[in-house]
């Protein structure tokens, strides 16, 4: 039912574009000629902003039907099969699933309590990849470090038999810069604590909210494993431990986790295309990830990303004519548990870059949507074209929907397309407002009710316009001497 | 340490008042005479609004030292002993603890999962007083009722072997009216479901937030017990079940709870006074409750209430002269688990009214602070004095801090002083803004970080002014022929 209504709405969305063409004043005498790429980009933008029923129904069905989709789980695999079937039904070409092996990490039961100076429950979440406690749990006195630097300054052996806690606060910042500053304590805290003798590691959640909800996230292996059981505390729980310690009392905690590993699991990338009409071997790559953390339903991380790029590509697919180049949608698997900088196919981004390495030279541009559902406020293009006619044309289309040209460029555009970009593919970023993202990120609270449909549509508008302009051009995003996008004959 | 710094700050707060007296223009020639009660009320108001260190340190220490304080728990008893010691240290008189027996309810481990159409974790909280599941848990298909009326309309036997779920939404309203409309499903839902054959009861949390946090709360006994295991779902979990059901799929759920009862427990009320200088037998009663639900730390429910009335009474106690009547602070125990309308000493409010019944005729006025920390926006006085000179005087003092005279009066001023009011004691209410209260109420999120110090101080200001004016008067709040508050000689 939903498939059918979506399809008919897409026909309507395409109809908006076709009707606009027939009505466009200056070109009415040349009705047989194609409108300019910029005109089509404006029409795509306006059709997306006017509301369409691709993106929201996608994220609603994905999160409702499959709930959490941790890497390697049955839910992730079923979601990938559903996504492939939906992409086919939406009219994409070359739809297929590419599997790759992973070791899956599975949360078990977990709990934490203050046991001295009195009994109080604590809200925690085991950090991704971290090992279980002994079956009876473990207990220890807590040593609180206000910053990660303080932990790294602690002498060897100074934490023997104790539990290290880093209570560093994450800074709220529009571009998400606070995350980078805080997350090292999560990725590297367990090994820094273990190297000083700690029996477990506690971390104030890397997040900006103040709810009794803990933010999980992956941690880095040392010698092939995370060395000690490691947990995120909710912000109010971290506050409480800090306050008790400030009263001069010893804080003693009991921790339990039955997390486990599944070594022979697999994950998968889902691929779909709108084939280019002139140079189909040239690919504009759009990425987002289908897997999610296991406590929420992965609505903003990254259900909306998969919805945004799928909807943008579908609006392009439904135009009366194809772009010159191929638009390729990749819904990556196993993004969340990727070992930072690990070699080989440990996650979807690496698996894609490895198995498509020969094609990467023809990947003309790559971008990724993985920052929730808030509005795009800024676009970052490859340096080669940042001052080009292409950029000016793009800004004429995006400025009316509230998008700035980024002053600080980056081609570090995300974890999924990162390995492809590292192999030389130029990267772009449609930067989203991140003021609220880290209230929800990696928590049980990542659910559909957090998705704002108006802002979701603005994302689709920006993506559809940019991807269309790049795909229907011969701009070389690698070269400094990029020609302006030529109007269609 | 904190006791000492608090005491010296109280001396400073009292100093503000004393200094203001010496400086007051018109009365400078009569320095030996007392200032008018209205002048003192203004000074108390201004001292509280200027910031003081009674209320916030109280709620910080209470919630940090003892955490959750469920009725009958060691934490509740230790908090009562701490409170009594603090009240003595603050200079109150007649400080003592009055014990009463209760059957305590204790949350155990609990969990819930969707098991069909696929596996998804659910966030739940067992409702207060509800029995455990069998040790292996229980499973059933869910029947969703959009409103509690729909459940009550279901035929007998129609839920046999199934799990009833009410997904009615609570309405956000400034005066908290949405709570009354929604809470019947919580108190009476378990028995309505059981009477139709259901094996368990699920409820969309009675709350206004959209976080993965469930709101607990007590349920009503039928034949001496709650008939079936009963749980609140977080709002996003209720949404998810509704959406899956709307896809035409059968929702099957597994529930587990190891809740238990402790029949020989006790709770206690903590009492403290500022004795009246002329008619000490006449009592103005200030109530709040020391117990809390067990998942948060009871910061806004009702740590702040205990802080507000204690701070208001302490500011009055530190004046250079006592009020004519006695100001009595009662920090009630076992409020949260009170059986609605149950006879006898099942909770602190009943225990107080029972053991002080002979005194109630001399209780001239009673009020309760149990609605969080948001600002007072309205005052409701007993009908007898709503149009009196006393009311006009009070409004002259409270209008500058943003308090209206209520157009709709109530003497139903709360659960703790309710049994005393039911026995004839006139009730007043300082109504607080409730737009945000039910985002937090009865959840793990009820923690200190939710307390706004500026609004907390405004509450203390309103309480101190009102209580002083009532206590330093001979107004008869029971009689329609209330005389105006006479200026002091």
pLDDT tens digits, A417-470: 999 999 999 999 999 999 999 999 999 999 999 999 999 999 999 999 999 999
Option in B74, B213, B294 nearest A212 (CB): B213
Residues A215 and A126: their CA atoms lie apart, in Å, by 9
Q: Mean pLDDT per segment of 10 residues, for chain B of length 489 residues?
A: 35 43 42 84 97 93 97 97 98 98 94 96 97 98 97 97 98 93 96 97 98 96 89 98 96 98 95 98 98 98 98 98 97 86 69 96 97 96 95 97 91 88 95 97 98 97 98 90 40
Q: Find, among B56, B106, B5, the residue nearest to B303 by Cα.
A: B56
Q: Find, among B394, B416, B402, B207, the residue nearest to B306 by Cα.
A: B416
Confidence (pLDDT) at B99? 97
B123–A212 C-beta distance less than 8 A? no
pLDDT band at A340 (very low <50, low <70, confident <90, very high): low
Q: In chain A, which residue's Cα lies nearest the Cα of B123?
A: A444
**CA atoms within 13 A of residue B489's CA, in its CB half-sphere:** 1
Written as six digits, the tokens of A25 are 């004043």
A227 to A127, A185, B328: CA distances (angstroms): 12, 14, 57
Residues A336 and A349: their CA atoms lie apart, in Å, by 11
Tokens 């060395």 sit at which residue? Answer: A227
Tokens 């309507």 sit at which residue? Answer: A12
Residues A28 and A418: their CA atoms lie apart, in Å, by 44
**Interior/surface letters A219-240, b for 16+ CB within 10 angstroms, e for the rest:** bbbeeeebbbbbbbbbbbbbbb
pLDDT band at A379 (very low <50, low <70, confident <90, very high): very high
Option in A211, A235, A243 nearest B211 (CB): A211
Residues A14 and A40: their CA atoms lie apart, in Å, by 11
Phi, psi (deg, nearest 5) at residue A387: -110, 20
Residue B268's contacts (CB-CB under 8 Å, 6 or more residues apart) are B76, B77, B80, B97, B98, B99, B100, B333, B348
Residues B114 and B241: their CA atoms lie apart, in Å, by 9
How far the first Cα of chain A sits from its last, in Å, is 41
Residues A267 and B314: their CA atoms lie apart, in Å, by 64
Residue A413 in contact with residue A419, Cβ under 8 Å?
A: no
**Residue A20: pLDDT above 80?**
no
Which residues of chain B lie closer than 8 angstroms to A449, CB-CB?
210, 235-236, 239
Residue A49 falls in which region: left (phi positive, over 0), alpha (psi -120 to 50) or beta:
alpha
**Chain A positions touching chain B (beta carbons under 8 Å):** 60, 64-68, 74-75, 78, 114, 117-121, 123, 210-213, 235-236, 239-240, 243-244, 247, 294-297, 443-445, 447-450
Which residues of chain A lie closer than 8 angstroms to B211, CB-CB?
211, 213, 445
Confidence (pLDDT) at A32? 55
Which residues of chain B lie closer than 8 angstroms to A445, CB-CB?
211-212, 236
Residue A276 in contact with residue A282, Cβ under 8 Å?
A: yes
Written as six digits, the tokens of A122 are 């604590």
A431 three-class SS: strand
**Interior/surface letters A124-146, b for 16+ CB within 10 angstroms, e for the rest:** bbbbbbbbbbeeebbbbebbbbe
In tens, the pLDDT along A92-117 reads 999 999 999 999 999 999 999 999 99
Residue A413 in contact with residue A421, Cβ under 8 Å?
A: yes
Written as six digits, the tokens of A324 are 């010159």
Which residue out of B282, B335, B336, B368 is catalytically annotated?
Answer: B335
pLDDT band at A9 (very low <50, low <70, confident <90, very high): very low
A402 to A266, A389, A465, B87: CA distances (angstroms): 41, 20, 13, 58
Confidence (pLDDT) at B409? 84
**Residue A77: pLDDT above 70?**
yes
Which residues of chain A lie closer than 8 angstroms to B118, CB-CB?
65-67, 74-75, 78
B123 Cα to chain A: minimum distance (Å): 9
How far the first Cα of chain B sits from its last, in Å, is 41
Per-residue DSSP letter, B324: S
Which residues of chain B lie closer than 8 angstroms to A118, CB-CB?
65-67, 74-75, 78
**Residue A22: pLDDT above 80?**
no
In tens, the pLDDT along A255-302 reads 999 999 999 999 999 999 999 999 999 999 999 999 999 999 999 999
Residue A129 in contact with residue A226, Cβ under 8 Å?
A: yes
Residue A319 falls in which region: left (phi positive, over 0), alpha (psi -120 to 50) or beta:
beta
- Report the length, in residues, of chain B: 489
A121–B295 C-beta distance less than 8 A? yes
**Chain B positions touching chain A (beta carbons under 8 Å):** 60, 64-68, 74-75, 78, 114, 117-121, 123, 210-213, 235-236, 239-240, 243-244, 247, 294-297, 443-445, 447-450
In tens, the pLDDT along A26-76 reads 444 444 578 999 999 999 999 999 988 899 999 999 999 999 999 999 999
B108 Cα to chain A: minimum distance (Å): 12
Confidence (pLDDT) at B224? 83
Q: In chain B, which residue's Cα lies nearest the Cα of A68?
A: B120
B211 Cα to chain A: minimum distance (Å): 6
Confidence (pLDDT) at B179? 95
Residues B434 and A280: their CA atoms lie apart, in Å, by 60
A118–B78 C-beta distance less than 8 A? yes
Residues A168 and A147: their CA atoms lie apart, in Å, by 5
Confidence (pLDDT) at B32? 55
A118–B445 C-beta distance less than 8 A? no
pLDDT higher at A17 or B290:
B290
Residue B303 in contact with residue B446, Cβ under 8 Å?
A: no
Paired strand residues for B430:
B379
Q: In chain A, which residue's Cα lies nearest the Cα of B249?
A: A65
B201 Cα to chain A: minimum distance (Å): 22
Residue A204 in contact with residue A241, Cβ under 8 Å?
A: no
Q: In chain A, which residue's Cα lies nearest the Cα of B450?
A: A210
User: Average pLDDT of chain A?
Assistant: 91
Q: Which residues of A are catalytic?
A: 335
Residues A41 and A330: their CA atoms lie apart, in Å, by 22
Confidence (pLDDT) at B36? 96
Confidence (pLDDT) at A18? 43
Confidence (pLDDT) at B341? 55
Residue A46's contacts (CB-CB under 8 Å, 6 or more residues apart) are A16, A20, A461
**Residue A204: pLDDT above 90?**
yes
Which residues of chain B lie closer than 8 angstroms to A244, CB-CB?
64-65
């Amino acid at each position: 039912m939903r498939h059918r209504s979506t399809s008919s709405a897409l026909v309507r969305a395409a109809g908006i574009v076709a009707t606009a063409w027939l009505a466009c004043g200056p070109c009415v005498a040349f009705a047989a000629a194609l409108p300019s790429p910029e005109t089509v980009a404006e029409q795509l933008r306006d059709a997306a902003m006017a509301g369409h029923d691709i993106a929201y129904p996608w994220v609603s069905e994905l999160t409702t039907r499959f709930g959490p989709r941790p890497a390697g789980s049955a839910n992730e695999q079923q979601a990938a099969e559903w996504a492939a079937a939906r992409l086919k039904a939406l009219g994409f070409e070359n739809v297929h699933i590419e599997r790759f092996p992973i070791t899956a990490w599975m949360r078990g039961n977990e709990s934490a309590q203050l046991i001295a100076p009195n009994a109080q429950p604590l809200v925690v979440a085991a950090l991704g990849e971290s090992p279980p406690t002994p079956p009876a749990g473990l207990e220890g006195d807590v040593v609180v470090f206000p910053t990660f630097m303080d932990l790294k300054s602690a002498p060897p052996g100074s934490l023997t038999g104790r539990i290290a806690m880093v209570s560093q606060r994450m800074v709220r910042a529009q571009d998400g810069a606070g995350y980078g500053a805080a997350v090292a304590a999560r990725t590297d805290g367990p090994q820094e604590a273990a190297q000083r003798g700690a029996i477990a590691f506690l971390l104030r959640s890397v997040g900006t909210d103040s709810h009794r909800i803990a933010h999980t996230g992956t941690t880095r292996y040392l010698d092939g494993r995370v060395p000690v059981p490691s947990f995120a505390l909710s912000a109010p729980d971290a506050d409480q431990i800090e306050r008790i310690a400030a009263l001069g009392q010893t804080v003693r905690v009991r921790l339990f986790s039955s997390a486990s590993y599944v070594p022979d699991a697999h994950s998968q990338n889902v691929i779909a295309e709108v084939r280019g009409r002139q140079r189909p071997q040239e690919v504009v790559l759009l990425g987002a990830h289908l897997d999610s953390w296991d406590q929420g339903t992965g609505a903003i991380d990254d259900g909306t990303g998969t919805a945004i790029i799928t909807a943008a590509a579908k609006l392009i697919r439904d135009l009366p004519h194809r772009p010159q180049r191929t638009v390729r949608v990749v819904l990556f698997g196993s993004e969340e548990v990727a070992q930072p900088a690990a070699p080989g196919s440990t996650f979807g981004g690496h698996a894609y870059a490895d198995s498509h390495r020969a094609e990467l030279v023809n990947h003309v541009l790559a971008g990724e949507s993985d920052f929730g559902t808030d509005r795009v406020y800024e676009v970052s293009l490859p340096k080669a074209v940042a001052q080009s006619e292409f950029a000016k044309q793009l800004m004429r289309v995006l400025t009316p929907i509230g998008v700035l040209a980024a002053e600080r460029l980056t081609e570090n555009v995300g974890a999924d397309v990162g390995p492809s970009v590292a192999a030389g593919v130029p990267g772009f970023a449609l930067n989203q407002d991140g003021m609220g993202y880290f209230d929800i990120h990696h928590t049980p609270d990542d659910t559909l009710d957090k998705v704002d449909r108006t802002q979701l549509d603005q994302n689709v508008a920006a993506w559809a316009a940019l991807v269309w302009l790049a795909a229907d051009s011969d701009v070389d995003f690698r070269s400094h001497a990029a020609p302006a996008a030529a109007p269609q004959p």
